[in-house]
């Protein structure tokens, strides 16, 4: 199994000025929830490459997500499934990366799908119309079975 992690990004929430209008939550006495970096683990199920993604996919790491996934796909000779069970958030930049990954897979005449979307990520996919572009399966087993038909 191969795991990719995004590099630690600088803290984007530092206060630029000392006044409260521009203060960070820490300056205001609030706490911020720290998200774990995005990770991608790869494994094979027969002729299908499974990319298990965890964390957030946003404007800070979408390009790295796309590069890591595309690098894994270059070594694959079959179908590709993105497992988003542990993805807590996806931005429009992340959706674009998914679309470009799907394009890369389809250019290789293989099937592409995503599976196990969290409620929030599923809502983003459906509102944006991605459910009409990319096959979505409820479980990993269903996605693998569909790819191997």
Calculate the alpha carbon distances from 96 to 58, 68, 101 in Å.
10, 14, 9
pTM: 0.76
Note the pLDDT of residue 82.
98
Query: Does residue 8 lie within any of the structural domains?
Result: no
Domain count, the chain: 1
For residue 135, give the CATH number of its domain: 3.30.750.24
Q: CA 37 to CA 52: how far, in whole Å?
A: 14
- Residue with structure tokens 């931005």? 91
Phi, psi at 44, each rounded to 5°: -115, 145
* 110 assigned to some structural domain: yes
Q: How far is CA 116 from CA 25, 52, 126, 139, 140, in A?
A: 33, 10, 14, 5, 6
Domain hosting residue 59, numbered range: 16-147
- The pLDDT tens digits for 40-50 are 999 998 889 99
């Amino acid at each position: 199994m191969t795991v990719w992690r995004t590099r630690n990004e600088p803290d984007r929430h530092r206060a630029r000025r000392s006044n409260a209008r521009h203060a960070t939550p820490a300056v205001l006495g609030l706490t911020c929830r720290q998200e774990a970096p995005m990770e991608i683990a790869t494994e094979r199920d027969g002729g299908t490459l499974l990319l298990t993604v965890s964390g957030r996919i946003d404007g800070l790491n979408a390009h790295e997500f796309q590069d890591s996934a595309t690098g894994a796909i270059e070594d694959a000779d079959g179908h590709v499934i993105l497992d988003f069970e542990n993805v807590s958030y996806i931005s429009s930049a992340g959706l674009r990366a998914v679309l470009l990954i799907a394009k890369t897979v389809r250019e290789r005449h293989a099937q592409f799908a995503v599976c196990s979307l969290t409620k929030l990520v599923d809502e983003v996919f459906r509102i944006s119309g991605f459910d009409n572009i990319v096959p979505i399966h409820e479980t990993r087993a269903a996605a693998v079975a569909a790819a191997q038909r």
